[in-house]
Amino acid sequence: MSEIQFEMVVRALGFAARKHRDQRRLDSARTPYINHPIALLEVLRIEVGVIDEAVLCAALLHDTIEDTETTREEIAEHFGERIASVVMEVTDDKGLPKAERKRRQIERVAGASFEARLVKLADKICNLRDIAGNPPQNWDLVRRRAYYDWARAVVEGIRGTHLELEELFDLAYAQRP
């Protein structure tokens, strides 16, 4: 990774940290939300060696539009059109009911760009790991299992994207409660 690419990733990390600064995960420890995008970065860069700055930045920024007041235009202004496009591909429309968002995610993922599929795989890996190790407080066994199964349906739509990420997903899925 070049120095310029590294700088862009650090800028994305800072941006995401500012945007998510007051947010917490739903687990019993109320983990700072920024730990989730950082976990995606770790999976992509450290565990499987992804060096594409658009993928790494989009991983850090993947929930900013969905979960904060951030706009696509703001991401494009700070990080360029390519990164903004990848972020948009992995962003759900929060104006839709949850069941519809989940259904659309399964439908849309197969047609997503390679970069967006990498982010989506990392996101599902990290979410399963979090649910296994420190589940959301109010999620009973049925809900946790349902999430695992839905995540598998999303990933099945993009099998063949990245073998190592898919193997990490399968390992995480094997911890299904």
Mean pLDDT, to the nearest integer, of 50-79? 97
Which among 22, 27, 52, 66 is annotated as catalytic? 66
Instruction: Quote the pTM value.
Output: 0.96
Cα separation of the two ends of the chain = 38
Which among 7, 52, 63, 67 is annotated as catalytic? 67
CATH number of the domain within which 136 lies: 1.10.3210.10
- The number of helices, as runs of H, and strands, as runs of E, in the chain is 10, 0
Please report which confidence band the pLDDT of residue 50 belongs to, taking 50, 70 and 90 as the band edges: very high
Separation between Cα atoms, residue 52 and residue 115, nearest integer Å: 8
Whether 73 shows a pLDDT value over 70: the answer reads yes
* Domain range for 25: 3-173
Whether 82 shows a pLDDT value over 70: the answer reads yes
Q: Identify whether 130 is a catalytic site residue.
A: no
Q: Identify whether 53 is a catalytic site residue.
A: no
Domain count, the chain: 1
Among the listed residues 135, 109, 116, the one whose alpha carbon sits nearest the alpha carbon of residue 28 = 135
Any long-range contacts for 162-171 (C-beta under 8 Å, 24+ apart)?
Answer: 162/48, 162/117, 162/118, 162/121, 164/47, 164/48, 165/43, 165/44, 165/48, 165/118, 165/121, 165/122, 165/125, 166/121, 168/43, 168/47, 168/48, 168/121, 168/125, 169/121, 169/124, 169/125, 169/128
